[in-house]
């Protein structure tokens, strides 16, 4: 019996087939119920018990080898997709699914386009920043508690190298190099040292806006933001500005829009109030203009900053922020036709 096993093993080592059918013939010859290997298994019951262990092991090895070899052959023909084993070059190619834009990119682009229509140009700044551009030039005094409001990732201390906590830093960079009129928006990624949860992440995206010229007023700010809200969330959207505080704007405000989910009736998104906050804004503090080399006696300006994830949530009602950053294609594919 051992000899027979050996002989079959040699045979199997050299098996070849020219087609799927031939492979099937081989399977029948060796592995089907009447196949030569199965027959050996039938004969196994007659093996004297002292030999059973050795022969049993050899038989199992043989069966595994044969199964593996025949499966390999089968696979070659399946991969080639045709039975002669050659490739048909006239077959049409596999269609490729185009990729989809990430929802954050979709919304960031949409925000940019809306402000483009009002003449705002796009500018970008570095993610790795220094203290001056993120805090000092924006009127955060050294010991100002507002610096603690934003838990900062420091790369180096003294001189400070840090990841920007907001895109307001780009305001400073642009004003340092450009004289008014300035009308621009700054989309980008920002970083804060926060524990990751459904509602917070250590990085996210903002779009900052800046308009500096002679005679820019708070009503210009209001009208610009109203236009944005209606373009983004629909003609029926209304806005309200609540007084607030930011070191770099005076006066400052936070802007709510009428809830785009319930239309203002009250729902979980707006916690029953009918309003949801979407951005911070205000008139650029004259001290900031001066820090950046712009004459605050001649020029005034407004600025605003919004979170892209927040706007995306309102548009698409994504409940868990982490979904934006895991890049699970099952999530991303849902935005295929979004834009
Ligand atoms: N930088 C602020 C933040 O990250 C947002 C902001 C508020 C930007 C008011 C502005 C502004 O330009 O005027 O929370």
How many separate domains does the chain show? 2
Are 119 and 168 within one domain? yes
Look over the chain and give the mean of its residue pLDDT values, rounded to a whole number: 90
The pTM is what?
A: 0.73
Task: Give SS3 for 333.
Answer: helix
Burial (0-12, 13-18, 19+ Cβ within 10 Å), 270:
buried
Nearest atom in ligand 1 to 171's CA: 12
Are 41 and 190 within one domain? no
Nearest atom in ligand 1 to 305's CA: 8
Are 108 and 70 within one domain? no
Question: What domain range is 314 assigned to?
Answer: 103-335
Are 175 and 313 within one domain? yes
pLDDT at 181 exceeding the cut of 60: yes
Quick check: is 91 in a domain?
A: no
Q: Residue 132 has which token pair?
A: 């001056």
pLDDT at 297 exceeding the cut of 80: yes
pLDDT of residue 82: 52
For ligand 1, the distance from its centroid to the CA atom of residue 67, given in whole angstroms, is 67
Residue nearest to atom 4 of ligand 1 (CA): 166
For ligand 1, the distance from its centroid to the CA atom of residue 119, given in whole angstroms, is 21
Quick check: is 315 in a domain?
A: yes
CATH code of 179's domain = 3.30.930.10
Mean pLDDT (whole number) for 51-70: 89
Residue nearest to atom 13 of ligand 1 (CA): 281
Are 198 and 323 within one domain? yes
Quick check: is 89 in a domain?
A: no
What are the Cα distances from residue 66, in Å, to 3, 34, 63, 69, 312?
17, 15, 5, 5, 57
Q: Residue 309 has which token pair?
A: 């994830």
pLDDT of residue 84: 56
Domain end marker among 82, 112, 140: 82
pLDDT at 158 exceeding the cut of 90: no
Are 258 and 307 within one domain? yes
pLDDT of residue 46: 87
pLDDT at 224 exceeding the cut of 70: yes
pLDDT band, residue 74 (cuts 50/70/90): confident
Quick check: is 66 in a domain?
A: yes
CA–CA dist 166, 192 (Å, integer): 9
For ligand 1, the distance from its centroid to the CA atom of residue 281, given in whole angstroms, is 6
For ligand 1, the distance from its centroid to the CA atom of residue 280, given in whole angstroms, is 5
pLDDT band, residue 49 (cuts 50/70/90): confident
Domain end marker among 24, 47, 82: 82
Domain end marker among 51, 82, 113: 82
Query: Pocket residues for ligand 1 (CB within 6 Å)?
Result: 166, 168, 208, 246, 249, 280-282, 303-305
Give, for ligand 1, the residue of 284, 305, 309, 311 to mutate: max count of ligand atoms closer than 8 Å to Cβ. Answer: 305
Are 247 and 202 within one domain? yes
Are 222 and 301 within one domain? yes
Q: What is the pLDDT of residues 240-252, one digit of tens each?
A: 999 999 999 999 9
Residue nearest to atom 3 of ligand 1 (CA): 166
Quick check: is 269 in a domain?
A: yes
Q: What is the pLDDT of residues 193-209, one digit of tens each?
A: 888 998 889 999 999 99
Spell out the alpha helix ranges (H) of 118-237: 131-134, 146-149, 168-177, 218-233
pLDDT of residue 79: 67
Are 221 and 321 within one domain? yes
pLDDT of residue 148: 61
CA–CA dist 187, 204 (Å, integer): 11
Give, for ligand 1, the residue of 165, 248, 287 to mutate: max count of ligand atoms closer than 8 Å to Cβ. Answer: 248
What are the Cα distances from residue 98, in Å, to 95, 327, 333, 336?
9, 16, 10, 9
Nearest atom in ligand 1 to 167's CA: 1
Quick check: is 17 in a domain?
A: yes
Are 141 and 55 within one domain? no
Burial (0-12, 13-18, 19+ Cβ within 10 Å), 197:
exposed
Residue nearest to atom 8 of ligand 1 (CA): 305
For ligand 1, the distance from its centroid to the CA atom of residue 220, given in whole angstroms, is 17
Quick check: is 97 in a domain?
A: no
Are 63 and 187 within one domain? no
Quick check: is 312 in a domain?
A: yes
Are 156 and 217 within one domain? yes
pLDDT of residue 150: 57
For ligand 1, the distance from its centroid to the CA atom of residue 138, given in whole angstroms, is 10
């Amino acid at each position: 019996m051992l000899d027979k096993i050996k002989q079959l093993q040699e045979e199997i080592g050299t098996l070849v087939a020219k087609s799927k059918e031939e492979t099937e013939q081989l399977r029948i010859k060796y592995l089907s119920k009447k196949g030569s290997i199965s027959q050996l298994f039938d004969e196994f019951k007659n093996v004297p018990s002292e030999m059973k262990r050795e022969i049993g092991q050899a038989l199992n090895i043989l069966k595994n080898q044969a199964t593996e070899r025949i499966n390999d052959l089968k696979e070659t023909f399946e991969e080639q997709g045709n039975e002669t084993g050659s490739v048909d070059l006239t077959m049409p190619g596999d269609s490729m699914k185009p990729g989809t834009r990430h929802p954050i990119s979709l919304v960031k682009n949409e925000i940019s386009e809306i402000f483009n229509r009002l003449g705002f140009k796009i500018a970008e700044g570095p993610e790795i920043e220094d203290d001056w551009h993120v805090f000092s030039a924006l009127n955060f005094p050294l010991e100002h508690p507002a610096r603690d409001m934003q838990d900062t990732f420091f790369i180096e201390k003294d001189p400070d190298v840090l990841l920007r906590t907001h895109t307001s830093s780009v305001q400073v960079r642009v004003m340092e190099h450009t004289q008014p009129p300035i009308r621009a928006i700054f989309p980008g990624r920002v970083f804060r040292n926060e524990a990751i949860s459904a509602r917070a992440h250590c990085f996210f995206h903002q779009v900052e806006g800046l308009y500096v010229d002679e005679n820019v007023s708070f009503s210009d700010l209001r009208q610009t933001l109203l236009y944005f809200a209606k373009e983004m969330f629909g003609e029926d959207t209304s806005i309200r500005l609540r007084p607030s505080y930011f070191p770099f704007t005076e006066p400052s405000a936070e802007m709510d829009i009428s809830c785009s989910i319930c239309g203002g009736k009250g729902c979980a998104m707006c916690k029953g109030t009918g309003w949801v906050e979407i951005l911070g804004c205000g008139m650029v503090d004259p001290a900031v203009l001066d820090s950046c080399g712009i004459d605050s006696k001649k020029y005034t300006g407004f600025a605003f900053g919004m979170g892209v994830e927040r706007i995306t949530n309102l548009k698409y009602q994504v409940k868990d922020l982490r979904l934006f950053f895991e890049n699970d294609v099952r999530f991303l594919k849902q935005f295929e036709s979004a834009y």
